Amino acid sequence: MAMATSPHSLLLQNPNTQFLKNTKIPFTTIPMTSTRLTLNPNKAISVKCSATTTHIQDRPPAQPQSQDRVFNFAAGPANLPENVLLKAQSELYNWRGSGMSVMEMSHRGKEFLSIIQKAEADLRTLLNIPPEYSVLFLQGGATTLFAAIPLNLCKPDDKVDYVVTGSWGDKAFKEAQKYSQPKVIWSGKSEKYTKIPAFEELEQSPDAKYLHICANETIHGVEFKTYPNPKNGLLIADMSSNFCSKPVDVSKFGIIYAGAQKNVGPSGVTVVIIRKDLIGNAQEITPVMLDFKIHDENKSLYNTPPCYGIYMCGLVFEDLLEQGGLGEIEKKNKRKADLLYNAIDESKGFYRCPVEKSVRSLMNVPFTLEKPELEAEFVKEAAKEKMVQLKGHRSVGGMRASIYNAMPLAGVEKLVAFMKDFQAKHA
Amino acid sequence: MAMATSPHSLLLQNPNTQFLKNTKIPFTTIPMTSTRLTLNPNKAISVKCSATTTHIQDRPPAQPQSQDRVFNFAAGPANLPENVLLKAQSELYNWRGSGMSVMEMSHRGKEFLSIIQKAEADLRTLLNIPPEYSVLFLQGGATTLFAAIPLNLCKPDDKVDYVVTGSWGDKAFKEAQKYSQPKVIWSGKSEKYTKIPAFEELEQSPDAKYLHICANETIHGVEFKTYPNPKNGLLIADMSSNFCSKPVDVSKFGIIYAGAQKNVGPSGVTVVIIRKDLIGNAQEITPVMLDFKIHDENKSLYNTPPCYGIYMCGLVFEDLLEQGGLGEIEKKNKRKADLLYNAIDESKGFYRCPVEKSVRSLMNVPFTLEKPELEAEFVKEAAKEKMVQLKGHRSVGGMRASIYNAMPLAGVEKLVAFMKDFQAKHA
């Protein structure tokens, strides 16, 4: 970089490539004497000099990279709001003048404390979380909670009830067998997990400590539209795949928990909302990292938390508030889901959704083709049009379109148009 | 953005603020007619127009934001290599033409699989990991491993030995009490954790399943320079704070584990290197997420892993290889540490490092001032000069400079110069 010290060199930072540079060649260095140039508003500006030509291009009004983005229908990790990603990108190298990336911050420094505290405050506002509930930012996904919940709430002989409406509820039940006496009081397995039970039919264990549900089954696409009032014990919900997709009355629950990677952030963060009086009774065999008391006493900072993931969740919470809160989000989600389910139902059987209409998920829309031999082509052709991750879960087959909060309406509209075209070609 | 379509408007992307824009206002829009400007190589270029003035500044040869960056001496999360951060920033919104951020990718999609597989391959190259060892990318930090290790390797009655050279080794021992019969066979506590024992003095339990050490104590600044050969059982090491800071003979160990947030990435990823024959014997009470067999069989993809963190670790591994591997890294780390320890030792007692010279950490350098009343001023004055997080751990006091792989030599040189100045002022 000795050239930079020459009076005849001018450093011009190229906005299109600045982040592709490594530390050794951060700028385009143009040796030059004096140059005159005229700006013509109808043309790109060009800086002519002896060594090279640098263009500052006239640009279209859209985001520079929007055209290159795909519509990502993955079940999670899933798409994040574009403005959240752009904000994260702008701050990645140097967060708000702190001189460091969020990834470099001490979790006990004032900068990160401000991030985690704001994330919690915004989540409390979004979900109107009562003060008698703690909010914890943990690691290990919902799968870790499958163990942590019975370990924290039960003695080994305690009875607990599970309603199993899909694969995730089933996994939660199986893990609870290690630390309690769980019972499946209803299972949708025989009907391929396409239903939610009528609550009045549920027969709970007489002295159950809690009733566990999975509020939205990501793989099977069934979603609780209202929630049961357990006759015995607490209501506990795994909300991983519909967390913050609509308003929820938190006060009905003992614990709500969710992996972040569907609606509110990247993978690696698990949000737990727990009524404070349930904290502090973990079994002796509970690993310290699964003990809610430890995390509650230390405000999620007992050991190093997943700082960057928590930061990203915070940006998403901010964005959800800016959109008007979860009431508005629910309206958007309903509109998107209606559009897609209507397209399926109006296809005269070309597309089919196996889930009972009243409990169809607003988040995960599984569907099959009347002619299964076309499914691979459907997925392939959609991918050509930049709609990806539409293949159904390997345990179910068919297709699945996950349309979480961050999926724009335009993505669903494009998918529906594609589905109609595809049907017209193959009907 | 209607203005952008006017023939009298010109879009100029401001390289300093482009990422601060949200999707609605991505560019600075300057209504203008025709403008002439002359480039003078000794001055900033200014584009004058009726609405505003945009400066394309002449810049120093360093990174555009380097001047704003601090030297971050935090113990972890800690600084990351600048070129890794810049690469991550360039790819955050759209990873290598995939149309999505790494944070949005399905962990089972081909894009993320290529990321995790390359991360593992590069780590295997860096540490020359033998094929009979598995590499796992997990969650929950070393603290989760404190439980997982005895749960996976022991029956509840099995004896295991712990050498306790600082706070982290002590925490590991305490957690092991829940799942095995651990014994502290040596403790540095009475000497304030300033020593590492002579290996020939260690008396192991006759039938110990393993000997656990913490290879580098982050808080106390003591580091194993060589490793013991256990007379009984395996050698297990928590290498959280010196992982990938120097070459290691992996074949001497049963398990090496490390939280990523010191030397190789952001927080939220725990790397486990485990001899394959040790996998598959977990106690029945082991949470599924703490069972190495589950993660090994599923190549760290049993549930959704911390994808973005693994991606960042992969970028760091690439960078370490590009620097010439861990032999070169160790040379750089020794040079930095020598510089700092020499400054302390040559200060005639103004600065003091309590750690025995032969086992001083290359990573974490604790020191005190002869006049403790000056410590707060030291920290404050250093922060003014953009050297932050120098305060010692609350349990030890004094100062601590953590100088992991990503701390540039220039950071240590600046600290040493500051220390000399500070001494001159206050001696």
ipTM of the complex: 0.86
3-state SS string for A108-171? CCHHHHHHHHHHHHHHHHHHCCCCCEEEEEECCHHHHHHHHHHHHHCCCCCEEEEEECCHHHHH
First-to-last C-alpha distance (Å) of chain B: 62
* CA–CA gap between residue B57 and residue A148 (Å, rounded): 55
Q: With contact defined as beta carbons under 8 Å apart, do B208 and B230 qualify?
A: yes
Sheet holding B270-275, edge to edge: B133-138, B270-275, B255-259, B234-238, B210-214, B159-164, B181-187
In terms of phi and psi (left: phi > 0; alpha: psi -120 to 50; beta: otherwise), the region of A192 is left
The single residue of A161, A168, A336, A391 carrying the catalytic annotation is: A168
Residue B103, SS3? helix
CB-CB neighbors (< 8 A) of A78 in chain B: 104
Task: Please indicate whether residue B207 is annotated as part of the active site.
Answer: no
pLDDT at A50: 34
User: Which residue spans within B75-231 are E strands per DSSP?
Assistant: 133-138, 159-164, 181-187, 210-214
Q: Which two tokens stand for residue B101?
A: 């951020």
Residues of A in contact with B110 (CB under 8 A): none
Beta carbons of A368 and A350 less than 8 angstroms apart:
no
Put simply, the chain B residues between 191 and 230 with a CB less than 8 A from any chain A CB are: none
CA A177 to chain centre: 29
C-alpha–C-alpha distance, residues A285 and B156, integer Å: 11
Q: Which structure tokens are listed for B161?
A: 């030995």
Q: What is the pLDDT tens value at each position of chain B, 427 positions in all? A: 333 333 333 333 333 334 333 333 333 333 333 333 333 444 433 333 333 333 333 333 334 444 589 999 999 999 999 999 999 999 999 999 999 999 999 999 999 999 999 999 999 999 999 999 999 999 999 999 999 999 999 999 999 999 999 999 999 999 999 999 999 999 999 999 999 999 998 999 999 999 999 999 999 999 999 999 999 899 999 999 999 999 999 999 999 999 999 999 999 999 999 999 999 999 999 999 999 999 999 999 999 999 999 999 999 999 999 999 999 999 999 999 999 999 999 999 999 999 999 999 999 999 999 999 999 999 999 999 999 999 999 888 999 999 999 999 999 999 999 999 999 999 8
Cα(A200)–Cα(A197) distance, rounded to whole angstroms?
9
| CB-based contact, B288 to chain A, within 8 Å | yes
Decide: B256 and B250 in contact? Cβ < 8 Å: yes
Bridge partner residues of B136 (DSSP): B272
**Contact assignment for A104 to B303 by CB distance below 8 Å:** no
Concerning whether A262 is annotated as a catalytic residue, the answer is yes
A91 at B interface, C-beta within 8 A: yes
Closest alpha carbon within chain A to B94:
A69
Report the gap between the CA of A43 and the closest CA in chain B (Å).
9
* Interface probe, candidates A106, A364, A395, chain B, greatest B C-beta count within 10 A: A106
pLDDT at B67: 55
Residue B278 near chain A (CB below 8 Å) = no
**Chain A 354-373, CB below 8 Å of chain B: which residues?**
none
What per-residue confidence (pLDDT) applies to B57? 37
Q: A11 to chain B: which residues are within 8 Å by CB?
A: 58-59, 61
> Please, what's the b/e burial string for A172-199 (b: 16 or more CB within 10 A of its CB; e: otherwise)?
bbebbebbbbbeebbbbeeeebbbbbee
Cα B19 to Cα B24: distance, rounded to the nearest angstrom: 12
Q: How many helices (H) and strands (E) are present in chain B, helices listed first?
A: 9, 17
Query: How many other C-beta atoms lie within 10 A of the C-beta of residue B410?
Result: 10
Chain B residue numbers with beta carbons less than 8 Å from the beta carbon of A62 are: 26
Query: Would you state the pLDDT for residue B64?
Result: 44
- Catalytic residue flag (residue A168): yes
CB A221 within 8 A of CB A214: no
- pLDDT tens for chain A, 427 residues: list them: 333 333 333 333 333 334 333 333 333 333 333 333 333 444 443 333 333 333 333 333 334 444 589 999 999 999 999 999 999 999 999 999 999 999 999 999 999 999 999 999 999 999 999 999 999 999 999 999 999 999 999 999 999 999 999 999 999 999 999 999 999 999 999 999 999 999 998 999 999 999 999 999 999 999 999 999 999 899 999 999 999 999 999 999 999 999 999 999 999 999 999 999 999 999 999 999 999 999 999 999 999 999 999 999 999 999 999 999 999 999 999 999 999 999 999 999 999 999 999 999 999 999 999 999 999 999 999 999 999 999 999 888 999 999 999 999 999 999 999 999 999 999 8
Distance CA A12, CA A114 (A): 36
B25 touches chain A (CB under 8 A): no
Q: Which residues contact A225 (CB under 8 A, 6 or more apart)?
A: A196, A358, A359
Asked if residue B360 lies in contact with residue B221, where contact means CB atoms within 8 angstroms, the answer is yes
Residue in B72, B224, B41 with CA at minimum distance from that of residue A111: B72
Residue among A262, A332, A336, A391 flagged as catalytic: A262
Chain A contacts of B23, Cβ < 8 Å? Answer: 63, 66, 82-83, 86
